[in-house]
Amino acid sequence: MGNEFKGEAAHSADYFGDTRDHWWNRDYLALLGERWGLGSVREALDVGCGVGHWGMLLGEQLSPDAWVIGVDREPRWVEKAAERAAARGLGGRYRYVQGTAEALPFADHSFDLVTCQTVLIHVADPAAVLREMIRVARPGGIIAVCEPNNLAQAVMADATTFAGPVDDLVAMLRLQMVCERGKAALGEGNNSIGQLLPAMFADAGLLDLKVSMNDRAVPLVPPYDAPWQRPMVEEMLDFAEREYGLWSHDETRRYYLAGGGGEGDFAAHWALALRLVRRAADELRAGTYRVAGGVVGYCVSGRKPGR
């Protein structure tokens, strides 16, 4: 249990913990499978696959003889995804290759389904990546992406934050907004891209646009002993211990300054972020932390014209 990759240099390593296996309700994925028509998919591509969490979860909705290829820029994740697939007995159907989302190493019209999860939030030009995903899809094929609006997280207050100073909540929203602008300005992606995707899909000429939201909440109510609560508690305690207030100190500062924030304000915002993270950790340890959890996550699909 936990995150065997935390602290590694490769992209998103701190976010590849077991919590990622609990981001979805299985029956909701089955519903997405029906809505997206995944039963007829024979070859699927998982773009920015990381260590394979999303591709393997969505793969449960595909026919048992469907193939899944994952592609990621990081050689380390390609290797680990292949290992994880083999450990789950999926080695025959799942293959992983190194490549970038901006220049996918596949011929035009290769896949019935091209998908990604929390990848467009990290790329400099999401419309260009979407065009590339469409290029490698077969005519009539499905492009399906799941991406959040992370800005909403700043105002999803737990009981203590709700009862605390309004200015704290406003300051956290400001910190997140300035950092998200900075991350985008640095070419590292719009962390709340979910909100913009339906229009981007329409502009790209995709048909049968479908937009819904992940229905998974992650309620943390003592004693936090459900299988999906334990990894979440562990991750929150770990982030507090390693002083992650949003991102690490250096990363948050880098984004804040790039987003137009000043060095002087940053210190106060960072102190507040850390205070809130530590307070939540203290409440978790005391068994008094209570929150409904979950993220604002959009599921957006469209069909490539033709066929």
Q: Which residues bind ligand SAM (CB under 6 A)?
A: 11-12, 15, 20, 48-50, 53-54, 72-74, 77, 100-102, 116-119, 122-123
The least CB distance from residue 155 to ligand SAM, in Å, is 22
Tell me phi and psi for residue 225, to 5 degrees.
-110, 5
Residue 73 Cβ vs ligand SAM, minimum distance, rounded to whole Å: 4
Total residues belonging to the chain: 307
Nearer to ligand SAM by Cβ, of 53 and 138: the residue is 53
Min dist. Cβ of residue 72 to ligand SAM (A): 5
User: Using alpha carbons only, how large is the chain's radius of gyration in Å?
Assistant: 20
**Cβ 52 vs Cβ 87: under 8 Å:** no
- Give the C-alpha separation, 123 to 106, whole Å: 19
Dihedral (CA of 159, 160, 164, 170) sign: negative
2 in Cβ contact with 17 (< 8 Å): yes
CA distance linking residue 121 with residue 180, whole number of Å: 10
Nearer to ligand SAM, 17 or 261 (CB): 17
The least CB distance from residue 133 to ligand SAM, in Å, is 11
For residues 74 and 158, which CB has a smaller minimum distance to ligand SAM in the complex?
74
In the complex, what is the shortest distance from the CB of residue 191 to ligand SAM, in angstroms, rounded to a whole number?
A: 10
Q: Following DSSP, what letter does each residue of 255-295 receive, concatenated?
A: HHHHTT--HHHHHHHHHHHHHHHHHHHHHHHHT---B----
CB closer to ligand SAM out of 6 and 174:
6
20 vs 303, beta carbon nearer ligand SAM? 20
- Cβ(46)–Cβ(71) below 8 Å: yes
Minimum CB separation from ligand SAM for residue 211, in Å? 19
Cβ closest to ligand SAM, residue 49 vs residue 276 = 49
Cα 200 to Cα 17: distance, rounded to the nearest angstrom: 30
**Beta strand 207-213 with 67-72: parallel, antiparallel or unpaired?**
unpaired
